């Protein structure tokens, strides 16, 4: 079981405690050489592509060995900075950066994304822009290349994460790539297409969603405090998940603020500022309201105060740090919110809750282990009679 800090956070969310129990280092095994990298290089040269694109594609497809882990993505982006090398391509691509972080976390730091993971596109060398213009012969060649690459690699684990939308006019003349396609998260094989949820990417929508999430967290804290505060109660409260949600919403608001809102028209900029002020006020009211649930009950001077529960102590500390992210702006006397600081506060609260859940689960399993041994011994002795017992003693 991984207990290091590297297993607690992945992709800006707290890792579920049950997953953290499963994380462990990945051993290395000797294997035989594979020709899958040279196949990709040969395809790129036959298309007379730039050497930089061929080289980075081959590096992502390494190592040139059979077995291991392979990831099948969809297709290259239209504007990868191939001429700047592998590091620049990874740093400039959210998908590749996410894969790098995921494999580092799940392997407890023993898997190197650049050296140990094979990344191949379902349509190698065919970007989405190019897909609209190439003929069926080129598409079939790309599909054959990806299929032959995976067969040559013969990975122990293949993660299919790509899905190609073939233009209607080419579907009859292009081979079916579904054997290596992703069917969609939460979907079952046999359905034609996964159902996609549509979310409005507007500032007011995110601020309203954030406000509802804060109310949900506060209510869950109030409900949990009144329970025995055991493992099942804390797990069922979904507090960690809700704190993760608040963290991700704030990060998305910050992203919109940096990329979109500052370039908006004057009237929309005023709406954006008002939305941020509302988020700041909601955050402050949330911390005050939720802190009321975790205050220690008053006691007489002659009696010692009750011992504070681990969750109450965690909540008190994290709520205090989140409240400090709200300040009074000058000269307008309006609330301002440090979006990054508040997001980190909710993330750390989610991490602390998952750590507490892991501790409670381990204690629960440790308590059940002796009981399980007793039940097993009782079952073995249930058919024992005085006569059989004396026979066993004589033996």
Band (pLDDT 50/70/90 cuts) for residue 107 is very high
Return the bridge partners of 14, or none. 9
- Residue-wise pLDDT for 174-224, tens only, equals 776 666 777 665 454 455 554 554 545 556 789 999 999 999 999 999 999
Lowest mean pLDDT, pick from 166-170, 195-199, 344-348? 195-199
Does residue 392 register a pLDDT over 50?
no
Q: How many other C-beta atoms lie within 10 A of the C-beta of residue 265?
A: 8
- Residue-wise pLDDT for 40-73, tens only, equals 999 999 999 999 999 999 999 989 999 999 999 9
Region 345-361: mean pLDDT is 96
Q: Which parts of 135-265 fold into alpha helices (H)?
A: 136-153, 203-225, 231-237, 239-259
Q: Which parts of 260-384 fold into alpha helices (H)?
A: 266-293, 310-323, 339-381
Percent of the chain beyond pLDDT 70? 80
What pLDDT was estimated at residue 374?
A: 63
What pLDDT was estimated at residue 3?
A: 46
What pLDDT was estimated at residue 204?
A: 77
Residue 263 to residue 281: CA distance in whole angstroms: 24
DSSP letter at 183?
-
Residue 189's SS3 state is coil
What pLDDT was estimated at residue 263?
A: 65
Q: Which domains does the chain have, with CATH numbers?
A: 31-180 (no CATH), 203-296+310-370 (1.20.58)
Decide if 8 contacts 16 (C-beta within 8 A): no
Angle between helices 36-46 and 51-61 (to 10 degrees): 160
State pTM to two decimals. 0.82
Give the list of residues 6+ apart from residue 27 with CB closer than 8 angstroms, or none: none
Lowest mean pLDDT, pick from 18-32, 54-68, 160-174? 160-174
**Residue in 141, 122, 39 with CA at minimum distance from that of residue 75:** 122
Region 101-116: mean pLDDT is 95
Name the token pair of 12.
């800006």
**Residue in 287, 269, 271 with CA at minimum distance from that of residue 342:** 287
């Amino acid at each position: 079981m991984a207990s290091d800090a590297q297993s607690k956070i992945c992709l800006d969310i707290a890792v579920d405690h049950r997953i953290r129990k499963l994380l462990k280092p990945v051993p290395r095994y000797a294997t035989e050489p594979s020709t899958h990298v040279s196949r990709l290089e040969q395809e790129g040269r036959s298309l007379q592509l730039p050497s930089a694109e061929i080289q980075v594609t081959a590096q992502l497809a390494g190592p040139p060995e059979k077995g291991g882990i392979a990831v099948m993505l969809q297709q290259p982006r239209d504007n990868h900075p191939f001429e700047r090398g592998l590091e620049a391509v990874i740093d400039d691509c959210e998908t590749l950066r996410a894969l790098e972080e995921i494999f580092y976390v799940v392997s407890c730091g023993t898997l190197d994304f650049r050296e140990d993971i094979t990344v191949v596109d379902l349509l190698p060398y065919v970007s989405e822009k190019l897909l609209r213009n190439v003929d069926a012969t080129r598409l079939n060649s790309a599909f054959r290349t990806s299929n032959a690459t995976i067969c040559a690699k013969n990975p122990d684990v293949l993660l299919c994460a790509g899905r190609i939308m073939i233009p209607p006019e080419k579907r009859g003349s292009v081979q079916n790539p579904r054997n290596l396609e992703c069917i969609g998260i939460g979907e079952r094989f046999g359905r034609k297409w996964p159902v996609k949820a549509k979310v409005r990417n507007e500032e007011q929508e995110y601020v309203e969603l954030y406000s509802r999430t804060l109310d949900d967290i506060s209510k869950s804290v109030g409900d949990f405090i009144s329970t025995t505060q055991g493992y099942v109660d804390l797990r069922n409260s979904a507090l960690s998940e809700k704190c993760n949600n608040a963290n991700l919403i704030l990060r998305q608001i910050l992203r919109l603020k940096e990329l979109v809102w500052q370039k908006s028209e004057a009237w929309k900029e005023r709406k954006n500022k008002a939305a941020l002020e509302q988020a700041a006020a909601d955050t402050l009211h949330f911390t005050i309201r939720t802190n009321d649930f975790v205050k220690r009950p008053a006691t007489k001077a002659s009696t010692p105060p009750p011992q504070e529960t681990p969750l109450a102590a965690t909540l008190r500390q994290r709520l205090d740090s989140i409240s400090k992210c709200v300040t009074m702006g000058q000269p307008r006397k309006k609330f301002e919110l440090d979006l990054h600081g508040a997001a980190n506060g909710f993330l750390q609260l989610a991490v602390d809750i998952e750590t507490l859940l892991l501790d409670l689960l381990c204690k629960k399993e440790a308590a059940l282990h002796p009981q399980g041994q007793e039940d097993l011994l009782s079952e073995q002795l249930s058919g024992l009679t005085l006569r059989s017992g004396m026979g066993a003693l004589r033996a």
